[in-house]
């Protein structure tokens, strides 16, 4: 009976190695696609916030430039 127990140890090791091997070699492309899509959404959001900031700064400067151009009239 003791010999049978010693033979079961390698058998359990082989079964465990097969389970781990199948888990390690699973298809991981689904997670990558979702991760890349999330990164693309993040990049788009950052580009939009950067453009919005630049537009708001530009719009703050433009009325002052337009007002100075309107107030200066040719003195003739």
Task: Give tens-digit pLDDT for 3-40.
Answer: 888 999 999 999 999 999 999 988 777 767 888 889 99
Helix (H, G, I), strand (E, B) or coil at 23: helix
Nearest partner of 41 among 53, 29, 33, judged by Cα: 33
Nearest to 55 by CA among 47, 43, 45: 47
Task: Report residue 60's pLDDT band, with 50, 70 and 90 as the boundaries.
Answer: low
CA–CA gap between residue 15 and residue 18 (Å, rounded): 5
């Amino acid at each position: 009976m003791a010999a049978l127990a010693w033979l079961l140890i390698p058998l359990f090791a082989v079964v465990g190695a097969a389970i781990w091997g199948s888990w390690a070699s699973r298809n991981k492309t689904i997670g990558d696609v979702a991760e890349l899509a999330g990164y693309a959404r993040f990049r788009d959001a950052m580009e939009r916030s950067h453009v919005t900031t630049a537009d708001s700064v530009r719009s703050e400067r433009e009325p002052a430039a337009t007002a100075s151009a309107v107030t200066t009239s040719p003195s003739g």
